[in-house]
Amino acid sequence: MKILRTIAEVRAAVREVRAAGGAVGLVPTMGAFHEGHLSLMRAARAHNDLVVVSLFVNPTQFGPTEDLASYPRDEARDAALAEAEGVDVLFAPAPAEIYPDGFATTIHVSGITDVLDGASRGTFHFDGVATVVAKLLGIVHPDVAYFGQKDAQQVMVVRRVVRDLDLDVRIEACPIVREPDGLAMSSRNVYLDEHDRRRAVALSRGLDRASALAATGVRDGVVLTDAVRRVLSDAGIEPEYVELRSLTDLSPVAELDGEALLAVAARVGGARLIDNHILKASS
Ligand code: AMP
């Protein structure tokens, strides 16, 4: 596996494979790898000739009060894990390679970024995500880029950028990888002390409860979101949001009909956690 720092080096590596007719897969990450990241790398490895993983803690998607400085970083460990998954290129640029002096462009996706994490964290977050992902797609020109369904709104934002800007790439969303007790894996789980780690499972338990209700025929959005709130409240967790929203445009869903996204965000001790289920109306 090559560790590359510059855009020129990545382009050269991709060009070689492309010239031979090979398919290129990209997995964008911020490092601190866990099984969620590795599942994306495996999906990319299974379907491409060249697998590029980007490792870049993107400063523009963090707010001034967020955890940019303390975000877990361990490139040597990440490189070893990526290499073990058969990744060909780890693209780990310095911030100045991505944002050189004079950088002046921001991609803003309107509408679907006004809610959930966009409302909770602020507009800067998805502006930062959309801009860096567009850049990574421009640098690597992958056939397929792999994202985790854990960040369901992020997947929707990326798909919208690709569609609206006619980018020639397929976006693949991979299932949420969970700890044995159900907690969605996240680089931020390392912020949880033992007590908060036990409480944190309430997010997935609450979503499980709502999914079970939906399976028995419950369709009322308030009943479904209240079920999550109750499990969180029993664990002493006050959510930032628990919302049932449309999978096409993230508009609010009052009555489950077909499929909808049930999304939750909450601060648990030192970690801001998110999780979601796709609820299906039972017929
Ligand atoms: P991050 O390094 O947190 O930016 O995540 C990089 C990619 O991994 C994103 O597409 C995430 O959605 C995905 N990811 C993070 N956690 C998980 C998880 N538990 N299961 C599946 N994908 C994940």
The pLDDT tens digits for 182-225 are: 999 999 999 999 999 999 999 999 999 999 999 999 999 999 99
pLDDT at site 70? 95
Please tell me the residue having the least CA distance from ligand 1 atom 14. 148
pLDDT at site 44? 99
What domain range includes position 215? 187-275
Show which residues are catalytic: 37
pLDDT digits (tens, 9 = 90+) for 231-269: 999 999 999 999 999 999 999 999 999 999 999 999 999
Do 118 and 248 belong to one domain?
Answer: no
**Residue 96: inside a domain, yes or no?**
yes
Percentage of residues of the chain with pLDDT beyond 90: 100
Per-residue pLDDT band for 142 (boundaries 50, 70, 90) equals very high
Ligand 1: atom nearest CA of 147 is 10
**Residue 25: inside a domain, yes or no?**
yes
Do 86 and 134 belong to one domain?
Answer: yes
Q: Please tell me if the CB atom of residue 121 comes closer than 6 angstroms to any atom of ligand 1.
A: no
Instruction: Say how many Å lie between the CA of residue 20 and the centre of ligand 1.
Output: 31
pLDDT at 14 over 80: yes
Instruction: Write the CATH number for 223.
Output: 3.30.1300.10
* Last residue within a domain, chosen from 174, 204, 220: 174
Give the 3-state secondary structure of the chain: CEEECCHHHHHHHHHHHHHCCCCEEEEEECCCCCHHHHHHHHHHHHHCCEEEEEECCCHHHCCCCCCCCCCCCCHHHHHHHHHHCCCCEEECCCHHHHCCCCCCCCCCCCCCCCCCHHHHHCHHHHHHHHHHHHHHHHHHCCCEEEEEHHHHHHHHHHHHHHHHCCCCCEEEEECCCECCCCCECCHHHHHCCHHHHHHHHHHHHHHHHHHHHHHCCCCEHHHHHHHHHHHHHHCCCCEEEEEEEECCCCCECCECCCEEEEEEEEEECCEEEEEEEEEECCC
Do 170 and 83 belong to one domain?
Answer: yes
Per-residue pLDDT band for 283 (boundaries 50, 70, 90) equals confident
**Residue 182: inside a domain, yes or no?**
no
pLDDT at site 170? 98
Do 133 and 204 belong to one domain?
Answer: no
Q: Please tell me if the CB atom of residue 128 comes closer than 6 angstroms to any atom of ligand 1.
A: no
Whole-prediction pTM: 0.98
Percentage of residues of the chain with pLDDT beyond 70: 100
**Residue 80: inside a domain, yes or no?**
yes
Please give the tally of structural domains in the chain: 2
**Residue 283: inside a domain, yes or no?**
no
